Amino acid sequence: MIKNDLWIIHQSKFKAMIHPFVPELVREADGDRRISYGVSSYGYDIRLSDKDFRIFRHIPGTVIDPKNFNPQNLESTELHKDHNGSYFVLPAHSYGLGVAVEHLQIPKNVTVLCIGKSTYARAGIIANLTPGEAGWCGHLTLEFSNSSSADCRIYANEGIVQLLFFEGENCGIDYQKRRGKYQNQSEEVTLARI
């Protein structure tokens, strides 16, 4: 069953499921419009951190290999600022990795699905995210594809994807017990591992 705002608020305030936690949907801060973040009716919109954003660059003669990932295929990108806020630029037809501001601690009977926000989808940005499994904790590494023919801004410290929480029966072995390879990610991009 998908979990509602009351459950998300309770889990976050009393069980530290999301930290830092915003108990309402924020659309404006300090008099400026924001891409929404915080609690919605049946989800939570997390924010993109301003600490780390990397873009895949083509290096002639190389092939990206998820079993032997070469970090030189990724290039850190500059954080820009203007009257609209802080942002990274994701070039046209490129792929980038960022990280969530929020630290998550997923309950042992819950799986989280991350879905893209319509504001970005309408600008050609596709969020390609894997699930947060039962028992997982850390800062999510977030993956984005710019499918448009124009460069696109991706705003830091504003809403970037929505989390949907699905509760089921307790699983036999959760992510923490099986010592999953992406457990306890810090607020920096985590590269592919096997």
Catalytic positions, written as ranges: 143
State how beta strands 152-155 and 141-146 pair: unpaired
CA distances (Å), 186 to each of 14, 52, 140, 152, in order? Answer: 22, 11, 8, 26
- What ranges in the chain are assigned the alpha helix state H? 5-15, 118-121
Chain position carrying tokens 């609209």:
84
User: And the tokens for 72?
Assistant: 């030189």
What SS3 state is found at 93?
coil
